[in-house]
Structure 1
Amino acid sequence: MNDAQLLEAPVQDGAISFARSFVRSDAFMTLFREGMGLVEQTAAYLDGDGRKESAALPREVALTYATESMRLTTRLMQIASWLLVQRAVAEGEMTAEQARAEHNKVKIADPISAPAAGIFAQLPQSLRDLMEHSLRLQGRIRRLEDQMSGTAPVEARANPVQDQLAGLKARLGL
């Protein structure tokens, strides 16, 4: 099976793998632009207004700011890596096997708990917004990654078309 077939191969029970074909879609490119845009937006903030805002924070909050900005940066680098690898596979620059090897090196980490609500509320709103956006994006990518690797829980959904076909096959003795 070649990489194109692997990306578009059906999964268990004949269901079409949305995630595998997703990386070749316009929706993936929208996700890619969103992720890379968030990386750029965060870098600009941390190098600009973020520096000014962090300098004005009380010591305890400034320490939390430093910790959270490092976590944010790490999270975004993991997201960017994942997006770049998926785009490389979709464009034929990397095989699916190479992509799996890369994903074994850089995994999208589990979300780390947020700082205490009282301290979180004292962080600059811009940093909080970037953190929340990155966590939502990370969650979306983790779900896609789980679907692509086949580790996502399969939801049992009634499929009326499959039910009708099964009924017809049973009546026809097929």
Structure 2
Amino acid sequence: MAERDLVPPQTALEPFTGGKLFDTVFSRGMALVEETAAYLDGPGRDQSKALGREPGLTYAAWSMELTTRLMQAASWLVMQKAVRDGEMRREDAAARKYRIRRDTPALDTGSVEASGLPARFLDLVTKSEALFEQVCRLDEALYQPGQSSAANPVSEQMAALQKAAETGAFDPLMVWRRAK
């Protein structure tokens, strides 16, 4: 598939970037970047010095991962804003190198809650993971509509029912039996 094939129709991008949803995601994302940076450079730095060896290593590794994901999400949001404001062409923004997706599992704060990591740090990790996941879903919806990476059994069943209805062979039990 050529990169130009990934360019969404004009109507797909504009309602998102021109609407309140984008403004909200952008504002919250940038505020989270600032909040996280202030924490990691201030209280987080002091709190991390008091951690034991194991929690300290987790804190160091996770803070790097957290910063990386936040910067990726912020960069994507800034790029979408540039497209909206006419500072970047939509075709350029659709290039594969600007796509954002999750390549590694999300950081699981539940697995380390009892480890002594600061609660504020864990809260920022949770918020950052949620933002990153939201931006990944938005990227997929805007630039790769209909190409979800995960199979969705409900969508597959709905498509089968739709096809059966369109062909006049609507037998819900037949569709159900094939799905088994």
Q: TM-score, normalised by structure 1?
A: 0.73
Q: Percent identity of the aligned residues?
A: 41
Larger CA deviation: 140-149 vs 53-62: 140-149
**1:36-61 C-alpha deviation (Å, 9 max, x unpaired):** 11000000000000011100100111
Which residue does the alignment assign to 1:145?
A: 139
Which residue does the alignment assign to 2:10?
A: 7
Find the residue that maps to 1:129 and give its secondary structure.
Answer: helix
Which residue does the alignment assign to 1:39?
A: 33
Larger CA deviation: 144-153 vs 45-54: 144-153
Which residue does the alignment assign to 2:97?
A: 104
1:8-157 correspondence to structure 2 within 5 Å: 8=11, 17=12, 20-101=14-95, 104-105=97-98, 107-114=100-107, 117=110, 119-121=112-114, 122-149=116-143, 150=145, 151-152=147-148, 155=155, 156=158
Q: Distance in 2 between matches of 1:79 and 1:45?
A: 18
Kindly indicate whether structure 1 or structure 2 has the higher relative contact order, using CA contacts under 8 Å at least 6 residues apart: 2
In the alignment of these two chains, the number of paired residues is 144
CA contact (8 A) 1:85 1:99 kept: yes
Q: Distance in 1 between matches of 2:64 and 2:99?
A: 17
CA contact (8 A) 2:55 2:117 kept: yes
Code of the residue aligned with 1:50 in structure 2: it is G
Which blocks of at least 5 consecutive residues in structure 1 are unaligned? Answer: 9-16, 158-174
Q: Distance in 2 between matches of 1:77 and 1:114?
A: 16
Code of the residue aligned with 2:53 in structure 1: it is R
Q: TM-score, normalised by structure 2?
A: 0.70
Change (3 A) 1:120 1:68: farther
Q: Distance in 1 between matches of 2:84 and 2:27?
A: 15
CA contact (8 A) 2:69 2:128 kept: yes
Task: State the shift of 1:27 in Å.
Answer: 1.6
Change (3 A) 1:111 1:129: farther
List 4+ stretches of structure 1 deviating above 4 A.
115-118, 153-157
CA RMSD in angstroms, aligned pairs only: 2.6
Change (3 A) 1:32 1:117: closer
Which blocks of at least 5 consecutive residues in structure 2 are unaligned? Answer: 1-7, 160-180
CA contact (8 A) 1:111 1:135 kept: no
Task: State the shift of 1:109 in Å.
Answer: 2.9
